[in-house]
Chains A and B, each alone.
Chain A
Amino acid sequence: MNKVLISVLGSDQPGIMAKVASIINQHNGNIENLSQTLLDNVFGALLMANLAEDDSAEKLEQSLQDQTRGMNLYIRVHPWQAEPSDWHQNKPETQPYIVTAIGPDRQGLVAEIAGELFKHGVNISNIQAIFKGGKNPMDNLMVFEVDVPRAVVMNDLRDALDAIASRLELEINVQHRRIFESVSNILN
């Protein structure tokens, strides 16, 4: 097993995936999993690949960087021993919640909320900002999809987040994920 993690960042344009994938292929590597996202016009991708035994992360990184010159990408390749973190090894039973912060963007908003979630042993599984500016509070929304261990006392977590909300003049809601799913999906 010769696993690597590849990160690709840069301005979005056609051909990034085509190029990256074909270079991995040239190295006889197999992409085992991948995910890409767009943040405004910024492209970001994370790929997990298995390389041939005689290949290495350094060689692949060099090829990727050489062959994508001109596309203005930041590409890194790291050797990866698939050792899950403590959290994943001893994952407690969790409940999925959605934390939404409604109100204007403020410096420190993510740090404060994420810090408080961490303090309570809560894992963030996804985070997204929906900032459109303007006065409509729903156009300035930060969404944290989180896994809350069963042992967490929800009222304590809510109180702590409420304190942040009043300090930053935001509204913070903590709702079980199921409510979003049940009103949005046909299948449930």
Chain B
Amino acid sequence: MLTPKEIISTLQMVREENLDLRTVTVGINLTDCVSDDIETFKRKIYDKITRTAGQLVATCNRIERRYGIEVANKRISVSPIGVVGAPFNADQMVEIALTLDKAAIELGVDFVGGFSALVEKGMSRGDQALIEAIPQALTESQRVCSSVNVASTRAGLNMDAIKRMGVVIKQAAAMTADDDGLAAAKLVVFANIPQDVPFMAGAYLGIGEADAVVSVGVSGPGVVKAALERAMAEEDNMDLSRAADVIKQTAARLTRAGELVGREVAEILGLPFDIVDLSLAPTPNENDSVGEIFEAIGLPAIGAPGSTAFLAMLNDAVKKGGAFASSHVGGLSGAFIPVCEDLTIARSAAEGTLALEKLEAMTAVCSVGLDMIALPGDTSAEMLSAIIADEMAIGVINKKTTAARLIPAPGKQAGDHVVFGGLLGEGPVMAVNMGSQENRFVRLGGRIPAPIQSLVN
């Protein structure tokens, strides 16, 4: 027999607090599709993707009803196209992106990730072609997402790649000027990218993974906020130790729900279950915001002093709860602080409580990085690269994943409003405190060496 508490708390999570499975992502290895003939390669990847994930959407719909939990997105991630499409030139890379897009549309999935390159140390021919193709690929496709790993703790920072990415982001935004630079919102630059992220835009299937796997991304900032609010209201001896406990327990419950659904989808599809990524990933809706958790704990707003300390605790408690609940927690697992995807964070940024500099500080302790940040349209490519380099350095030195998803919104000034729609949301254009647009440091290129792993202080 279930106790009333078990029943009520589960129902509350699902009905009122926006527990959802943000995504069930099927990772598909494309290494066996390799060919130096573009038509053969396109046909093989299209066939393999549509064959492997043919039942994904129908299965998710079925499981959704069985458990009464929404699966918000169904997604595909593939082997990095920079690797498996190495023989092809940039124009052909665009064709590959459009093939991925076609497969995604055919399957009815929301996004396909893996139009990616791993270039933390250097760029192969395929990587170069892929990176060159990114602006056009993301402009002409609807559902393709792209990621480029430009740094790692073991390899250091590839400043040539970072310099290049500033230009690529600028181009991608310019080509989608009518949509406030939407293409740049589907492109993320990483340090220490995990091989098994189910979240976009960073999802790809690492080379060390199986032929096809199912991963799940669980979200639920609303559930954490509600649990904290309840504890704050009802408990006499509330302090931060207790708050950490509440977050941890909530994270464990969320992870359990995710693993249950993930394993079941995997079983039905006949694929191995890979990981649960428990990330507090907001959507641009009330009660589904990471910023609201900051207010629930008593901070005036996200970005106010104290925010970095609380984010550190939040991120750590989420990881601890997740790791306890499932033996296969992976991906990014932690708290995201994307500006445009989160109603409260966007509001703090618009009101000036949260500046780019404070966000950067907070990314040292969050699970991703500078995410979904709209910048003035006249931000130079060099300046974008410099911001990326700063963000990557934080990840490399702290042995964590960091990422930058920057959108220089064409024609927009700081304080203007941009709208990307759907999960990508909307928000203010944030000011960049840059002085000159020139940046000789970035222009030097080369590599920033990998950091020493001893003398840790």
Complex Cα spacing A119 to B253, Å: 35
B449 at the interface (CB under 8 A from A): no
Contact A130 B8 (CB under 8 A): yes
Give me 16 other A-B pairs in contact (C-beta within 8 A), A154-B65, A175-B14 excluded. A98-B7, A102-B11, A138-B8, A141-B8, A143-B7, A177-B2, A179-B67, A179-B257, A179-B260, A181-B2, A182-B257, A182-B259, A183-B253, A184-B2, A184-B10, A188-B256
Interface residues of A in 137-174 (CB under 8 A from B): 138, 141, 143, 145, 154-155, 158, 173-174
Interface residues of B in 251-274 (CB under 8 A from A): 253-254, 256-257, 259-260
Instruction: Given A138-B12, A158-B65, A176-B67, answer yes or no on A183-B257 (Cβ-Cβ < 8 Å).
Output: yes
Complex Cα spacing A182 to B260, Å: 7
Chain B residue numbers with a CB within 8 Å of A183 are 9-10, 13, 253-254, 256-257
Residue of A with least CB distance to B253: A183
Chain A residue numbers with a CB within 8 Å of B68 are 173-175, 179
Contact B7 A100 (CB under 8 A): yes
Interface residues of B in 122-148 (CB under 8 A from A): none
Residue of B with least CB distance to A130: B4
Interface residues of B in 1-30 (CB under 8 A from A): 1-2, 4, 6-16
Interface core residue of B10, B13, B253, B257 (most chain A CB under 10 Å):
B10
Chain A residue numbers with a CB within 8 Å of B8 are 130, 138, 141
Chain A residue numbers with a CB within 8 Å of B4 are 128, 130, 141, 143
Complex Cα spacing A175 to B8, Å: 13
Complex Cα spacing A176 to B13, Å: 15
Contact A184 B6 (CB under 8 A): yes
Instruction: Given A98-B7, A138-B12, A179-B68, answer yes or no on A145-B1 (Cβ-Cβ < 8 Å).
Output: yes
Instruction: Given A130-B4, A143-B2, A188-B256, answer yes or no on A179-B65 (Cβ-Cβ < 8 Å).
Output: no
Chain A residue numbers with a CB within 8 Å of B1 are 126, 128, 145
B contact residues, total (Cβ < 8 Å): 25
Complex Cα spacing A148 to B15, Å: 23
Contact B67 A184 (CB under 8 A): no
B66 at the interface (CB under 8 A from A): yes
A19 at the interface (CB under 8 A from B): no
A178 at the interface (CB under 8 A from B): yes
Main secondary structure of the interface of B (DSSP, over half): helix
A contact residues, total (Cβ < 8 Å): 26
Contact B66 A138 (CB under 8 A): no
Residue of A with least CB distance to B249: A186
Contact B65 A180 (CB under 8 A): no
B214 at the interface (CB under 8 A from A): no
Contact B11 A145 (CB under 8 A): no
Instruction: Given A184-B2, A184-B10, answer yes or no on A176-B259 (Cβ-Cβ < 8 Å).
Output: no
Instruction: Given A128-B4, A141-B7, A184-B2, answer yes or no on A175-B256 (Cβ-Cβ < 8 Å).
Output: no
Chain B residue numbers with a CB within 8 Å of A176 are 66-67
Complex Cα spacing A128 to B2, Å: 10
Contact A180 B2 (CB under 8 A): yes
Chain A residue numbers with a CB within 8 Å of B9 are 183-184
Shortest Cβ gap from B255 to chain A (Å): 9
Complex Cα spacing A181 to B13, Å: 14
Contact B253 A184 (CB under 8 A): yes
Shortest Cβ gap from A160 to chain B (Å): 15
Complex Cα spacing A155 to B65, Å: 9
Residue of A with least CB distance to B13: A183
Chain B residue numbers with a CB within 8 Å of A141 are 4, 7-8, 11
Complex Cα spacing A183 to B67, Å: 12
Shortest Cβ gap from B400 to chain A (Å): 28
Contact B11 A100 (CB under 8 A): yes
Complex Cα spacing A174 to B66, Å: 7
A-B contact pairs, 29 of them (CB 8 A): A100-B7, A100-B11, A102-B11, A102-B15, A126-B1, A128-B1, A130-B4, A138-B12, A141-B8, A143-B2, A143-B4, A145-B2, A154-B65, A173-B15, A173-B68, A175-B68, A176-B66, A176-B67, A177-B2, A178-B67, A179-B68, A180-B7, A182-B257, A182-B260, A183-B10, A183-B13, A183-B254, A184-B6, A184-B9
Residue of A with least CB distance to B7: A143
Contact A180 B6 (CB under 8 A): yes
Interface residues of B in 71-87 (CB under 8 A from A): none
Shortest Cβ gap from A132 to chain B (Å): 10
Chain A residue numbers with a CB within 8 Å of B10 are 179-180, 183-184
Interface residues of B in 38-69 (CB under 8 A from A): 65-69
Interface core residue of B1, B2, B15, B254 (most chain A CB under 10 Å):
B2
Chain A residue numbers with a CB within 8 Å of B66 are 154, 175-176
Chain B residue numbers with a CB within 8 Å of A184 are 2, 6, 9-10, 253
Chain B residue numbers with a CB within 8 Å of A175 are 14, 66-68
Chain A residue numbers with a CB within 8 Å of B6 are 180-181, 184
Chain A residue numbers with a CB within 8 Å of B257 are 179, 182-183
Chain B residue numbers with a CB within 8 Å of A98 are 2, 7
Chain B residue numbers with a CB within 8 Å of A158 are 65
Chain B residue numbers with a CB within 8 Å of A179 are 10, 67-69, 257, 260
Complex Cα spacing A154 to B66, Å: 9
Residue of B with least CB distance to A176: B66
Complex Cα spacing A46 to B454, Å: 69
